[in-house]
A and B are shown apart, each in its own frame.
Chain A
Amino acid sequence: MPIFHNPPARPVFRFSPGVLLVLSLLLWGTRSFAQESPYIVTYDHYLEEPGNLEVEYFSTLGTQRGGHNFHAYWAEMEYGTTAWWTTGLYLDGQTTFGDSSVFTGFRVENRFRLLQREHLVNPILYVEYEQISGADKILKEVEGHDTEADFLSPNSESRQEHKHELELKLLLSSTFKGWNVAVNPIFTKNLLPSEPWEFAYAVGVSRPLGLKASPRRCYFCAENFIAGIEMYGGLGDVESPGLHDISQYLAPAIAWNLPSDWTFRLSSGFGLNPNSHRLLLRWGVSREFSGFGETVRHLLGGRP
């Protein structure tokens, strides 16, 4: 006698593993309040606190003369391995309006604090490996002779180009009376032997709007806002040194550090010469998860 089973009812809403991951991060128990700088391109000398994970999302809306505007985005995960070493992963993508959306590659970065104590100028060594396609448009740094015209190719064409790059930065940063000044010389090498070393820079100045904390919990207190300005651009390469065919940007920026652990950043980059995009409007949101490493080790049965 055949036994008929009713087919199992499909759940109205199924939690995908991705949704669960996002929910578990949102509901993470341990609080951590970050005091993030407003810089999007420039780095200061502050690393992640050890054991903390910072998850960030950034967008860049760029104008493009002679082509389609674009929206480039990247996710960033930074982990404080020790108090002197931060490691991170970037995942890049972009949508070119009227063209397509593509995943454009990943970057792995490491930042090492070179001096133990705080000094007038604090050097950090930044080492990054990038595996990206020619369609990458996040403009996290503008190198060598990069210009706006390089972004005209359609995604189907530019994504065929694959780059393996090594990027070295010396992050020099100083904080005095609430002001932070950061200067980052940048050296980039495509790992193909035929490609030259390229040079670039990023500089930034920032300051919290309020230096003293108010005794009450507040969202709009001056102490929660840090305003700053960044300037960044290419400086040529070894084969063709000089400041011809380079692009330069000036970008006022602001960060809003909420007491609820979130940080929002907004930056508006203006091209300073005809080779630059006219406008790079960037925004980002980040959250720091305290004790992430310890919790994961504990969950996986490691030594606490």
Chain B
Amino acid sequence: MKAITTQLRSMYRALARSVWVGAAVGICAATFLPAQTTRTPIPERDDVALAAFARVPNSARSRMNPFEGNLQEIVAGGKLFARHCAQCHGEKAGGTRRGPSLLQGEVQQASPGTLFWVMTNGFVRQGMPVWSKLPEPQRWQIVTFLHSLNFYGQQPDQK
């Protein structure tokens, strides 16, 4: 019994030490390492991000959304958006310090294929990670949700 108590005590000490050193290093890293998403002023950053839409290849722009307008997929896409995207783009997609608004005309007018491509490839230099780890149907569900937010009542273009 005493041996077990001693073992548990030394395990606890090792873990406690681990947590402390880890927390210290984590806080130092978070404080002093540059986080690219928050250093650029928002308007400039948003312009750069949206300008990157121009780099989407034509073949990708013309891809059709298999779930276009499907209510169930919009709801599922909303759930996925809340989980994966809202932390940067805001709960209502209106943008935060970390990511641009997705209610802007440029985004809302973009074709489904364009949004799908952006989500798959990210804009790594601008701070948008690649999201290909989400299976393809889930990325289309998010695109469906984004287009359901069509704030200006405009039709997405099919360049």
Q: A227-281: which residues lie under 8 A (CB-CB) from chain B?
A: 259
Smallest distance from the beta carbon of B159 to chain A beta carbons, Å?
20
A-B contact pairs, 29 of them (CB 8 A): A21-B23, A35-B133, A50-B36, A50-B129, A51-B98, A75-B22, A79-B26, A82-B35, A82-B36, A83-B126, A83-B128, A84-B124, A95-B7, A100-B7, A101-B7, A117-B121, A118-B121, A178-B135, A211-B136, A212-B138, A213-B141, A214-B76, A215-B75, A215-B76, A216-B79, A293-B30, A294-B38, A297-B38, A302-B31
Closest CB in chain B relative to A222 CB, distance in Å: 11
Do A296 and B30 touch (CB < 8 A)? yes
Q: Determine how close the nearest CB of chain B comes to the CB of A236; give it in whole angstroms.
A: 32
Interface with A: B80-88, B104-112, B147-155, which one?
Answer: B80-88
Contacts of A46 in B (CB 8 A): 129-130, 133
Could you say which residues of chain A place their CB within 8 Å of the CB of B29? 79, 81, 87, 293
List chain A positions with a Cβ less than 8 A from chain B: 18, 21-22, 30-33, 35, 37, 44, 46-47, 49-53, 55, 73-75, 77, 79-84, 87, 89, 91, 93, 95, 100-103, 106, 113, 116-118, 175, 177-178, 180, 208, 211-217, 223, 259, 290-294, 296-297, 300, 302, 304
**Are B18 and A93 within 8 A (Cβ)?**
yes
- A74: chain B residues within 8 A (beta carbon): 18
CB distance from B102 to the nearest CB of A (A): 16
Contact B16 A18 (CB under 8 A): yes
The majority secondary structure among interface residues of chain B is helix
B33 touches A79 (CB 8 A): yes
Q: Number of B interface residues, CB 8 Å?
A: 58
Q: Evaluate contact between B76 and A212: CB separation under 8 angstroms.
A: yes
- A83 & B122 in contact (Cβ 8 Å cutoff): yes
Q: How far is the CB of B115 from chain A (nearest CB, A)?
A: 15
Convert B91-125 into 0s and 1s, putting 1 for each residue whose CB lies closer than 8 angstroms to a CB of A.
00000011000000000000000000000111011
Give residues in B with beta carbon < 8 Å to A.
7, 10-11, 13-23, 25-27, 29-31, 33-38, 72-73, 75-77, 79-80, 83-84, 86-88, 97-98, 120-122, 124-130, 132-138, 141
**Selected contact of B134 from candidates A35, A73, A294, CB within 8 Å:** A35
B14 & A93 in contact (Cβ 8 Å cutoff): yes
Task: Assess whether B124 is in contact with A116, with CB atoms less than 8 Å apart.
Answer: yes
Which A-chain residue is minimally distant from B18 (CB atoms)? A91
A213-B10 in contact (CB<8A)? no
A81 to chain B, nearest CB (A): 5
In the complex, what's the smallest C-beta–C-beta distance from B28 to chain A, in angstroms? Answer: 9
> Which residues of chain B are within 8 angstroms of A291 by Cβ–Cβ distance?
87, 98
A92 to chain B, nearest CB (A): 8
Query: A297 touching B22 by the CB < 8 A rule?
Result: no
Given pairs A49-B88, A83-B127, A211-B135, 7 additional interface contacts (CB within 8 A): A73-B15, A77-B26, A83-B128, A91-B18, A93-B14, A100-B7, A175-B133
Q: Which of A22, A81, A211 contacts B33 (CB 8 A)?
A: A81
> Contacts of B15 on A, CB cut-off 8 Å?
73, 75, 93
Contact of A47 among B22, B73, B79, B129 (CB under 8 A): B129
**Contact A294–B98 (Cβ < 8 Å):** yes
